[in-house]
């Protein structure tokens, strides 16, 4: 594998895109990232540090208008798309034709099931090619798809809510310990940055401050990811997202019933064994629950649980930073796996 690569980011002026540019700039195996802007993005500054002084110095971070000729001229090895879903859906076929690795932070290529993907209402110019690329895309949670990622040309970075729920449930669901017919209830809360940088009435300070609101009940875009990755049927899952009046962070509280009576030690052992080779998942001791503040500005997903006295009712709590493990950090972690590096590189 190459010792150094040339990464490029489209969408570095957004919250997740900026976090990604910041992480890549300090990665030991990455050259200084090329930062592209899309045509029609009005008001973009000439350099990223004009918008985010956090990264001033080091010669600045120029923002370059995107075109495929520039991608070739810059020798880009991996293209990160922090772009709207429909943009990624349009651009990835050309990137594959150019032989460039793509790690897409949008939902454009995450879903293989047509009825789940229908929520995006994509209008593909070449449906057959889109179906082929959908089949080739690897869902970007390294803890679940490490081996497939090693051969991936197209990585569909997982959604932030989906990551928090899937990582919390995967060990128990895959071990057959959860009574799926009883149903799984996921109550998730996210900071406002999860809605993106473009302001809306719902993310206006006056609407968010001193408030807590549920939204997209039964039709959130991440629902299909949870169903696909955990092998659940729609009727086995209730997922309700909420908007927290904080900038960043996700806390998911998940309620399940177990198939048989278990001990807390057995639950903890199952989770720790499942993630024994996964440095970015921290399993807390039984009865100790994660909090958003523990994982902020890190690539950790923290998972804890409390088991009822009857040994069958279980509450799992998971926390992560929606801009890091829920987006940019996970994208870098995926890049590390694709190029054969340690998953921790550039993320400590």
Catalytic residue among 160, 186, 301, 319: 160
Mean confidence (pLDDT) of the chain? 94
Q: Is-contact 103 81, C-beta < 8 A?
A: yes
CA distance 317 to 184: 13
Q: Is residue 160 among the annotated active site residues?
A: yes
For the segment 296-331, what is each residue's pLDDT rounded down to a tens digit?
999 999 999 999 999 999 999 999 999 999 999 999
State the pLDDT at residue 41.
Answer: 59
Checking if the pLDDT of 199 tops 90, the result is no
Q: Where are the beta strands (DSSP E) in 244-278?
A: 250-257
Which domains does the chain possess? 7-158+326-338 (3.40.50.720), 161-322 (3.30.360.10)
Q: Is-contact 280 300, C-beta < 8 A?
A: yes
CA distance 324 to 295: 9
Distance of CA 161 to the CA centre of its chain: 8
| pTM of the entire predicted model | 0.95
State the pLDDT at residue 335.
Answer: 98
Q: Is-contact 286 305, C-beta < 8 A?
A: yes
Average pLDDT over residues 35-48: 77
């Amino acid at each position: 594998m190459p010792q150094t690569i040339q990464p490029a980011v489209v969408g570095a002026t957004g919250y997740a895109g900026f976090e990604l540019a910041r992480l890549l700039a300090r990665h030991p195996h990455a050259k200084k990232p090329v930062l592209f802007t899309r045509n029609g993005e009005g008001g973009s500054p000439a350099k990223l540090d004009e918008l985010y002084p956090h990264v001033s110095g080091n010669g600045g971070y120029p923002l370059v208008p995107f075109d495929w000729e520039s991608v070739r001229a810059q020798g880009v090895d991996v293209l990160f798309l922090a772009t709207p879903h429909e943009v990624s859906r349009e651009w990835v076929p050309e990137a594959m034709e150019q032989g460039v690795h793509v790690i897409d932070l949008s939902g454009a290529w995450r879903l293989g099931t047509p009825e789940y993907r229908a929520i995006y209402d994509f209008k593909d110019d070449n449906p057959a090619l889109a179906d082929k690329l959908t089949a080739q895309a690897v869902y970007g949670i390294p803890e679940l798809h490490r081996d497939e990622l090693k051969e991936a040309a197209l990585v569909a970075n997982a959604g932030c809510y989906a990551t928090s729920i899937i990582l919390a449930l995967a060990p128990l669901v895959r071990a057959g310990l959860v009574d799926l017919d009883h149903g799984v209830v996921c109550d998730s809360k996210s900071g406002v940055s999860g809605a993106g940088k473009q302001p809306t009435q719902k993310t206006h300070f006056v609407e968010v401050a001193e408030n807590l609101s549920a939204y997209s009940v039964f039709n959130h875009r991440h629902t299909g990811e949870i169903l696909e990755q955990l092998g659940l049927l729609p009727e086995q899952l209730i997922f309700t997202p909420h908007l927290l009046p904080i900038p960043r962070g996700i806390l998911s509280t998940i309620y399940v019933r177990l198939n048989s009576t278990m001990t807390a030690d057995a639950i903890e052992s199952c989770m720790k064994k499942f993630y024994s080779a996964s440095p970015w998942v921290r399993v807390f001791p039984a009865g100790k629950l994660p909090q958003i503040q523990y994982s902020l500005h890190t690539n950790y997903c923290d998972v804890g649980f409390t088991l009822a006295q009857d040994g069958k009712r279980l509450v799992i709590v998971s926390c992560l930073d929606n801009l890091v493990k829920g987006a940019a950090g996970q994208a870098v972690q995926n890049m590390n796996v694709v190029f054969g590096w340690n998953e921790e590189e550039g993320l400590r």
